[in-house]
Amino acid sequence: MGFTIAIDGPAAAGKGTLSKAIAAHFGFAHLDTGLLYRAVGAKTLLGVEPIEAALKLVASDMDDTDLRSPEVAQAASKVAVIPEVRAALVDFQRAFGARAGGAVLDGRDIGTVICPDAKVKLYVTASAEVRAERRYLELSAKGDASTREQVLADVKARDARDMERVEAPLKPADDAVLIDTSEMSIEDAIAKALAAIEAHTA
């Protein structure tokens, strides 16, 4: 089994940015597992049943440029509470995590469910207000007309769904290193994450 790094946390906490930087630093493969759920969510918006969409998912489905839209994000959060959808996507994620050469996976349940034996587990978080502001600026740059209030409400609603679902709720693994990026620069967050990982490789 390769060296697996599990990174979990809520939306817009910075785990995607951290994951890519960590993967690049160590030369590991990276998987944004949220894209799996976004791809399923995108198909449900086209009328496909969630379980069918998950069972028939192929790697190329994650190349869709619309997967980052707010509508797809909400659809992804809704399909992620369906146990059969999660089960259909577990094998794909575990196989990726076990690949030779090392892997970084980021999502909501990597350290608790998908790769509980990961060498290093990080839980990246930030306040709902900080995360909503980040998402608002990101959406505004793309021409989205959502207000700050709407984005904050969406972030809180998604948090509630992710944290309160029965199947694989979002929570830190018992042995995860907590990184709160609310008042951290990207550089500082990356430095803290790399230090935590290197402490396990020394």
**Collapsing DSSP states into helix, strand and coil, what is residue 80?**
coil
* Structure-token pair, residue 126: 């930030």
11 annotated as a binding-site residue: yes
- Give the CATH number for residue 63: 3.40.50.300
* Structure-token pair, residue 72: 């797809």
Residue in 150, 126, 119, 125 with CA at minimum distance from that of residue 136: 150
CA distance 116 to 182: 26
Q: Is the pLDDT of residue 2 over 80?
A: no
117-165 tens-digit pLDDT: 999 999 999 999 999 999 999 999 989 889 999 999 999 999 999 999 8
15 annotated as a binding-site residue: yes
Number of domains in the chain: 1
* Structure-token pair, residue 103: 């892997």
* Residue range of the domain that includes 24: 4-201
* Structure-token pair, residue 164: 């309160």
14 annotated as a binding-site residue: yes
Residue in 74, 65, 189 with CA at minimum distance from that of residue 130: 189
33 annotated as a binding-site residue: no
Contact 45, 34 (CB under 8 A): no
Task: Give the number of other Cβ atoms within 10 Å of residue 15's Cβ.
Answer: 29
- At 174 the pLDDT is 96
13 annotated as a binding-site residue: yes
30-59 tens-digit pLDDT: 999 989 999 999 999 999 999 999 999 888
